[in-house]
Amino acid sequence: MSKSRLEWKVGVFVFIGLALLAGLLLEFSKGLTFFRPTYEIGLKATNVGGLKSRAAVLMSGVQVGTVADIKLEPDGKSVTITLRLYKQFVIYKDAKFIIDQSGFLGDQYVAIQPTNNGGGIFHDQDQARADPPFNLQDFTRSATGFILRIDETVKRLDDALADVTRLVLNPETLTNLSMAVANLRGFSERALVVADNVNGLLVTNSPTIAHSASNLVVFSEQLNQFADGLNGVLATNREGIHAVVDNIESSSETLKGLLHSVQGGKGLAGDLLSNEEIATNVSQIAQNLSITTSNLNRLGLWGILWQHKASQPKEAPAPSLKTPKAASE
């Protein structure tokens, strides 16, 4: 065998080996083989976390494709993820795309969760939205803030308990509370004694109480009979009662007319009220009567007569007939 022919065979063997090695590298590095047809779907997400190109795309735990490309949008607020999926797998448009992670520290991948298999199927270059991955750092920061708030709440609760202990559970308050409990206990004991006495009183005087109750029942029956009789009287003498009421109304009308006449100056009473001279005389007579009755009360009838007799003037004595001499004697 010539040297050139040997070199050519060696070169062909090396080339085949390299091709096989490249195919194995592509297969075991989660890349797609060149012999399976694929189509691409674009995913919009706000954050991709640690997702990398050539990551796996799993549906129900089965790899249905890989991540072909990850590109940040010009606005910097969203990311476009290009998925390269096998054509043999049909993805419905109501499926959910989630960026998940294998274990606690494993690689991230795109998980497809089917729902109702409605809304049509995805075709090449279709667009969908993906939920952002679980961010452990954000969760840690949130948990740290939550722990700080809990710690602050615990401190405030501890301060409140300290205030309660200082203001409520101090020795003076506890002593007052103990005294109040003792007083309440004494009051309850006295209440029990009073209840026993009342019970004994009721038991002792039960015949009297029963008799009083029976009397009350009889009185209520008599009162009912009286009410029935009164109702019968009212029903029997209804016309007479109506006549009496009519007479009272006519009398009130007559009295109203008399008062109107008196106010108008008619009749003797009207003259007395309207004539000032007569009113003055009547007032003088009333005053004299008042003085007379006062004297009668104070002196009596004989005293008034005696005072009247004493107030009369005495007669002058007769002139004497004796001589001056006799008078001198």
Give yes or no for residue 272 having a pLDDT over 70.
no
pLDDT, tens only, 220-257: 888 888 888 888 888 888 888 888 888 888 888 888 87
pLDDT of residue 256: 81
Regarding whether 62 and 130 lie in a shared domain, the answer is: yes
Can you give the residue range of the structural domain that contains 263? 245-275
Regarding whether 54 and 21 lie in a shared domain, the answer is: no
Last residue of a domain, one of 110, 134, 158: 134
Regarding whether 75 and 101 lie in a shared domain, the answer is: yes
Give yes or no for residue 306 having a pLDDT over 60.
yes
Overall average pLDDT of the 106-129 stretch: 85
Last residue of a domain, one of 226, 259, 275: 275
Regarding whether 73 and 4 lie in a shared domain, the answer is: no
Question: Is residue 116 in some structural domain?
Answer: yes
Last residue of a domain, one of 134, 150, 177: 134
- Please tell me the least confidently modeled range out of 2-11, 16-25, 231-240: 2-11
Regarding whether 105 and 21 lie in a shared domain, the answer is: no
Please tell me which of 9-13, 80-84, 248-252, 275-279 the model is most confident about, judged by mean pLDDT: 80-84
Mean model confidence pLDDT for the chain: 78
SS3 letters for the chain? Answer: CCHHHHHHHHHHHHHHHHHHHHHHHHHHCCCCCCCCCEEEEEEEECCCCCCCCCCEEEECCEEEEEEEEEEECCCCCCEEEEEEEECCCCCECCCEEEEEECCCCCCEEEEEECCCCCCCECCCCEEEEEECCCCHHHHHHHHHHHHHHHHHHHHHHHHHHHHHHHHCCCHHHHHHHHHHHHHHHHHHHHHHHHHHHHHHHHHHCHHHHHHHHHHHHHHHHHHHHHHHHHHHHHHHCHHHHHHHHHHHHHHHHHHHHHHHHHHCCCHHHHHHHHCHHHHHHHHHHHHHHHHHHHHHHHHHHHHHHHHHHHCCCCCCCCCCCCCHHHHHC
Regarding whether 42 and 5 lie in a shared domain, the answer is: no
pLDDT of residue 29: 55
Looking at residue 83, which CATH number applies to its domain? 2.40.30
Regarding whether 50 and 17 lie in a shared domain, the answer is: no
Give yes or no for residue 329 having a pLDDT over 60.
no
Give yes or no for residue 323 having a pLDDT over 50.
no
Overall average pLDDT of the 295-322 stretch: 58
- How many domains does one find in the chain? 3
pLDDT, tens only, 179-203: 888 898 888 888 988 888 888 888 8
pLDDT of residue 107: 79
pLDDT of residue 1: 56
Question: Is residue 319 in some structural domain?
Answer: no
pLDDT of residue 322: 45
Regarding whether 23 and 8 lie in a shared domain, the answer is: yes
Question: Is residue 228 in some structural domain?
Answer: no
Contact 93, 112 (CB under 8 A): no
